[in-house]
Amino acid sequence: MKIIAISMAALLSGAAFFIDTEPMDLIAATEKVGELKNIESMGTDRAAHAATLLDDGRVLVTGGFRTGGGSLTSAEIFITSTGRFAAASNMTTARAGHTSTRLSDGKVLIAGGFDGGYLQTTEIFDPATGRFSPGPPLTVPRSEHTATSLADGRILIAGGVGTGWRFLSEAEVYDPAAGRFLRIGSMTVPRESHTATLLKDGRVLITGGHKGRRESMTVYNSTEVFDPTRNSFESLGELTVRRHKHAAILLNDGRVLVAGGSDERDSRGSYDSLETFDPKSGRFMAVGRMRAERYKLNGTLVLLRDGTVLIAGGSDVAEIFDPVKKTTLEAKGSFGTDRLFSSATCLNDGRVLIVGGYDQSNRVSGGAWMFERSVD
């Protein structure tokens, strides 16, 4: 038996031990899973930022907050060919907890966020010029919302928190053809720290999240689905546990993997559990456990070329989940400290870039790591 130590207004909020009882041949297979390697850091420490793969293979990293608070206007670009970051022009507004979504024309929509107040502004990054320009306003100010590219080219913006710490059920879509945001129906409940995942049939699965703060917080096990043909939301089944600050990703077989998160206790209530949603049955099912408890990991699940999932955030280590075998294996290497509100971006060559985040002591990092599958 082997014991392994595992180590923006209201963002800044444990350690766990996992007893490994896997067969020895499975333990030995960790050598083939892949490895995290530290690379040259970003120019700026940042967490709760956004990272978006550009059409040319570079990665745009925008905003976030620094140690001690304070949102950033700065942006930088990871140059894949050199493995280094280069400063980009600043955004027009400082933002943390915003979204960054690549549009069909290759430009990037930056929406909402927090700069001491909740933002209604957006901006557009043009990779051809390397500059940001003001975009159309959201219908309501919001931060910590979700942004999902729909099959018809529109962007669904849902939930988050707005002015006066109001938790939002309101949803809207960005229509690139019209160049503006349009208000649509609301979700069934207000949600912050939820997930939104595009299904293969074009609908969007919304899971978990919360409303309220501290003793008034309610963490949901409820889920719903957005139908883009009707521009409406409909309740679905329940998660196996209440979750917020979790992550979700579409698997190759059409199911959705939901990972980690926590209950109202945040780090003291973080989960190692995994579950999947099957669109055919409309049901959620537990599918095993991770090797570390993880929360604040939204945006750090990456579907790899072989159909497995890299789980990169919320802990000091990364691991691989195999949805067929329902097993997890820890990758070689370590981040050194927990990566909370970091980002993970799959590059065109299959490698994964992980940047930023903060640790349990609220120290924000500019660190960068590359994950690469091992070759037998």
Model pLDDT for residues 22-34, shown as the tens digit of each residue: 443 434 444 468 9
Q: What is the pLDDT of residues 65-82, one digit of tens each?
A: 999 889 999 999 999 999
Q: What is the pLDDT of residue 215?
A: 85
Q: 3-state DSSP call for residue 6?
A: strand
Q: What is the pLDDT of residue 214?
A: 86
The token duo for 348 is 């065109």
Query: Any idea which architecture 2-372 has in CATH?
Result: 6 Propeller (2.120)
Q: What is the pLDDT of residues 37-56, one digit of tens each?
A: 999 999 999 999 999 999 99
Categorize the per-residue pLDDT at 12 as very low, low, confident or very high, splitting at 50, 70 and 90. Answer: very low
In this prediction, residues 278-283 reach a mean pLDDT of 96
Categorize the per-residue pLDDT at 301 as very low, low, confident or very high, splitting at 50, 70 and 90. Answer: very high
In this prediction, residues 226-230 reach a mean pLDDT of 97
In this prediction, residues 115-135 reach a mean pLDDT of 97
Q: What is the pLDDT of residue 7?
A: 32
In this prediction, residues 295-300 reach a mean pLDDT of 98
Q: What is the pLDDT of residue 373?
A: 85
Q: Which of 10-19, 179-188, 363-372 has the lowest mean pLDDT?
A: 10-19
Categorize the per-residue pLDDT at 21 as very low, low, confident or very high, splitting at 50, 70 and 90. Answer: very low
Q: What is the pLDDT of residue 336?
A: 96
Q: What is the pLDDT of residue 19?
A: 32
Q: What is the pLDDT of residue 147?
A: 98
pLDDT at 184 over 50: yes
Give the up-direction half-sphere exposure of residue 191: CA atoms within 13 A in the CB hemisphere: 28
Whole-number average pLDDT of the chain: 92
Q: What is the pLDDT of residues 307-353, one digit of tens each?
A: 999 999 999 999 999 999 999 999 999 999 999 999 999 999 999 99
pLDDT at 225 over 90: yes
pLDDT at 97 over 50: yes
Please state the three-class secondary structure of the chain as a single string: CEEEEECCCCCCCCCEEEEECCCHHHHHCHHHHCEEEEECCCCCCCECCEEEECCCCCEEEECCECCCCCEECCEEEEECCCCEEEECCCCCCCEECCEEEECCCCCEEEECCECCCECCCEEEEECCCCEEEECCCCCCCCECCEEEECCCCCEEEECCEECCCEECCCEEEEECCCCEEEEECCCCCCCECCEEEECCCCCEEEECCEECCHHHCEECCEEEEEECCCCEEEEEEECCCCCECCEEEECCCCCEEEECCECCCHHHHEEEEEEEEECCCCEEEEEEEEEEEECCCCCCEEECCCCCEEECCCCCCCEEEECCCCEEEECECCCCCCCECCEEEECCCCCEEEECCECCCCCECCCEEEEECCCC
Domain edges within the chain = 2-372
Q: What is the pLDDT of residue 29?
A: 44
Nearest-angstrom CA–CA distance, 123 and 50:
13
Q: Which of 234, 314, 333, 248 is nearest to 287 (CA)?
A: 248
Question: Comparing 119 with 30, which gets the higher pLDDT?
Answer: 119
Q: 3-state DSSP call for residue 335?
A: coil
In DSSP terms, 114 is beta-bridged to 96, 118
SS3 content of the chain, % helix, strand, coil (to 5): 5, 45, 50
Nearest-angstrom CA–CA distance, 152 and 231:
12
In this prediction, residues 224-228 reach a mean pLDDT of 98
Q: What is the pLDDT of residue 115?
A: 97
In this prediction, residues 98-126 reach a mean pLDDT of 98
Q: What is the pLDDT of residue 363?
A: 97
Q: What is the pLDDT of residue 14?
A: 34
Q: Which of 264, 129, 116, 109 is nearest to 179 (CA)?
A: 109
- The pTM assigned to this predicted structure is 0.91
Task: State percent of the chain over pLDDT 90.
Answer: 88
Q: What is the pLDDT of residue 131?
A: 97
Categorize the per-residue pLDDT at 241 as very low, low, confident or very high, splitting at 50, 70 and 90. Answer: very high
